[in-house]
Amino acid sequence: MASVDPTVTTGKRSWYKRNEIAVTPWLFLAPAILFFAFYVLWPIYQSIAISFYAWDGLGEARYVGMGNYVELMDDRAFEVSLWNNLKWLLFYLLAIPAGLFIALFLNQTVTGIRIYKSLFFFPFVLSQVVVGLVFSWFYLPNEGLLNGLLGLFGLGPVNVLGDPTWATYGIIAAGLWPQTAYCMILYLTGLNAVDPEQIEAGRLDNAKGWKMLWYIIIPQLKPATFIAFVVTIIGALRSFDLISIMTNGGPFGMTRVLSFYMFEKALSEYGFRMGYGAAIAVVLFLIMLVFIAYFLWSMWREEQGR
């Protein structure tokens, strides 16, 4: 049996031991980095690469350079989808003030308030598909509830989802229903954290009503507003399912947004123009990038401030 030389073992610490401080964070980060690279970065790169080709998903891909993008510039359906995306981004934000006011309204202590709160929160729990179906029945041109209501005032009938000008707004309104509930719940939790001493101080300085809200409450709700803004923007850009359920992009493509148009061009029954679809996806990605950059920047600033 050979005797162990103590000098050798102590002198040669393992590589990991020597670099522990530097390596450990990366080890912990490794799974996330790998998944992020594989499921996010790589597909982004692939989409951008495919957007330079004409490819039907089966045969040989043919390099067309900027061809797909040039065609996009001249594609009316793309233009319509882009405008619809902007409409979504703009009008979907109405969910934030609406959510705030419902939250203010519900932020009181009366008997059964929990039931009212859950009833208001209820639409957010519903699947988007159910929301879409409920609203398309609500909008039905002849027997729908909306036309029944309008009829009481001697108005209508209107065919919201069949009218190329109004259909998109009709779908956005349907989307606002659950989104308002989401913003409401964010603000309700935010209102719990409002500092009563500041309200007290405001009262002493004679602030009430709108002034109290604007100068005392809303500034304290800033974190909730930020989150509400983020989820609403993301929600607006993911409006795919409601459109698919309520109008299927119609009438004649007037309610398509970029994500829906991409799906139609690349993956639907008559599509399979992978390159063209990828080019649309890249444009959508660039739009998202603006918001992502803004979100990251504000979060970074927050960190710095601490």
Overall residue count recorded for the chain in this entry: 306
Binding of another protein at residue 241 (CB under 8 A)? no
Residue numbers 129-168 binding another protein by CB under 8 A:
136, 140-142, 159, 161-162, 164
Comparing CA positions, the residue from 303, 282, 272, 277 lying closest to residue 56 is 272
Interface pick for another protein out of 5, 197, 200, 269 (rule CB under 8 A): 269
62 three-class SS: strand
Q: Which is nearer to another protein, 3 or 165 (CB)?
A: 165
Nearer to another protein, 50 or 93 (CB): 50
Q: What is the C-alpha to C-alpha distance for residues 9 and 14, in angstroms, rounded to an integer?
A: 9
Is residue 224 a contact partner of residue 183, using CB atoms and an 8 Å limit? no
CB nearer to another protein: pick between 32 and 58: 58
Cβ neighbours of residue 78 under 8 Å, at least 6 residues apart? 72, 258, 261, 280
Please report how close the Cβ of residue 47 comes to another protein at its closest, in angstroms. Answer: 18
Piece of 34-42, 100-108, 148-156, 260-268 that binds another protein (CB under 8 A): 260-268
Q: Is 271 in the site for another protein (CB under 8 A)?
A: yes
> What is the number of helices (H) and of strands (E) in the chain?
18, 2
Distance CA 109, CA 124 (A): 23
Q: What is the largest CA-CA distance in the chain?
A: 105
From candidates 267, 290, 296, 299, binder to another protein by CB under 8 A: 267
- 58 lines the binding site for another protein (CB under 8 A): yes
Residue 66, amino acid? M
Residues 209 and 217: their CA atoms lie apart, in Å, by: 11
Is 247 a residue that touches another protein (CB under 8 A)? yes
273 forms part of the interface with another protein (CB under 8 A): yes
Stretch that binds another protein, among 83-91, 101-109, 119-127, 266-274 (CB under 8 A): 266-274
Q: Which stretch binds another protein (CB under 8 A): 54-62, 119-127, 176-184, 227-235?
A: 54-62
CB of 178 to another protein, least distance (A): 22
Q: Does the footprint of another protein cover residue 56 (CB under 8 A)?
A: yes
How many other CB atoms are found less than 10 A from the CB of residue 153? 7
CA 34 from chain center: how many Å? 24
Distances (CA, A) of 168 to 109, 144, 277, 285: 39, 18, 22, 22
Applying CB under 8 A, the residues found at the interface with another protein are: 56-59, 71, 76, 136, 140-142, 159, 161-162, 164, 247-248, 250-253, 264, 267-273
